[in-house]
Amino acid sequence: MWGFASQFFWKSLRDFRAWASVAGLLLAGVSGLTGWTLISPAWVWLLIVIACAFAIAVRAEWKFYNGKQQKLQRDTPLEELVKRIVGSEDILVGDNCRKTSDALLEIRERAHLEEIAVWGRRDVRSKDLAFYPSTLIPPEYWDEFGINYLQFTGARTGESERVRGEPKKTMIQSSVMTTVHAQIIPDVIYSDFWFCEYQIDKIWPKPKTTIKLQWPLRKTTA
């Protein structure tokens, strides 16, 4: 609550300064053209403040509404997400190899914290992915599993691997003898990871394109 109030206050102040500057320029322009000295009454500045506060409130509510209406969509493959995080198309060149490894760790961390949704195909045993429907991976899965870096450097689609803990076991009793022995339960392995672009843009925004005022004009990303 206090965070929203602070953000609202500073946005109001910035918008008021901007509107006041525009109003001042208009008054100065009219004064220069007509030769009259114009002084704005206090109610004009009060209206500017109220308009700024109203605009900010509407904008905040609109962003909140869009966030509530936005549905999770499986529309971004793992490779594209890694490129966004690394900030380069060449994710496996030079120092980008380390950045790619760090990106896979960050994806696992955010998936475990439920900040991003991850889709994958469970226990894929053939190259025909159509036989394995994609499904949302539970966030708690990422507590013991991560994304295999070596597999990613080859296929680029992603595959999970156990990174901590031990495989689960179940006790099996022999039908012939009364002995009971433990049998390891195979790990659930997911492949072909996909993500939601809406969530990605909120955490890793696209770089902004700017145009430098020089000749010739050049586009740069920031």
Q: Parse the chain into domains and list their residue ranges.
A: 2-69, 76-203
**Six-digit token pair at 145?**
């599993």
Cβ contacts of 15 within 8 Å, gap of 6 or more: 52, 55, 56
Q: Are 147 and 162 in contact (CB under 8 A)?
A: no
Please tell me the distance from the alpha carbon of residue 154 to that of residue 190, in angstroms, as a whole number: 16
Which pLDDT score is estimated for 9? Answer: 52
Asked if residue 165 has pLDDT above 50, the reply is yes
Compute the residue count for the chain: 222
- Least confident among 34-48, 156-170, 179-193: 34-48
Beta strands at 119-122 and 190-195: parallel, antiparallel or unpaired: antiparallel
User: The whole model's pTM is what?
Assistant: 0.63
Which pLDDT score is estimated for 71? Answer: 79
